[in-house]
Amino acid sequence: MSKILVVENEQSIQKLTRANLTASGYQVVAAPDGEEGLRLASRSRPDLILLDLMMPGISGWDVLMTLRADRRLNRTPVIVMTASHRASNREKARGMGTAGYLAKPFSISELLSHVKQAIG
């Protein structure tokens, strides 16, 4: 069973994402902010990270940079989830080696498709 870490500060999105991934057979852990997300990533070593970009405190961009600098986590696939539809953010995320980019609001089928593509 693949383990997915959801780093999302919007509780409703976190709950919906978690529920649908769990129903699809994935083990899910969740963090409400970037700091806790980094702690959980280091401790649980997930197979995939779903990462919100716009969070209070440590932003998703900073979390992504920290993950890419950590030799234990730098190959972990990351799918960005964001309300930003800007092409420049999509390109920046791609340049940082993300496995996908989901613009909010996204459908559950779109989420599951990205997850399957990233980890099977």
Predicted confidence (pLDDT) per residue in 26-78, tens digit: 999 999 999 999 999 999 999 999 999 999 899 999 999 999 999 999 999 99
Instruction: Name the more confident of 104 and 120.
Output: 104
Interior/surface letters 76-92, b for 16+ CB within 10 angstroms, e for the rest: bbbbbbbeeeeeebbeb
Fold for the domain defined by 3-119: Rossmann fold (3.40.50)
pLDDT in the model for residue 2? 97
- Whether a cis peptide bond, with omega within 30° of 0, leads into 105 is yes
Q: What is the pTM of this model?
A: 0.95
Q: Which residues pair with 30 in a beta bridge?
A: 6
63: helix, strand or coil: helix
Q: Mean pLDDT, the chain, as a whole number?
A: 95
Among 61, 106, 100, 65, residue whose Cα is nearest residue 83:
106
Confidence class of residue 120 from pLDDT cuts 50, 70 and 90? confident
In percent, the amount of the chain with pLDDT more than 90 equals 91
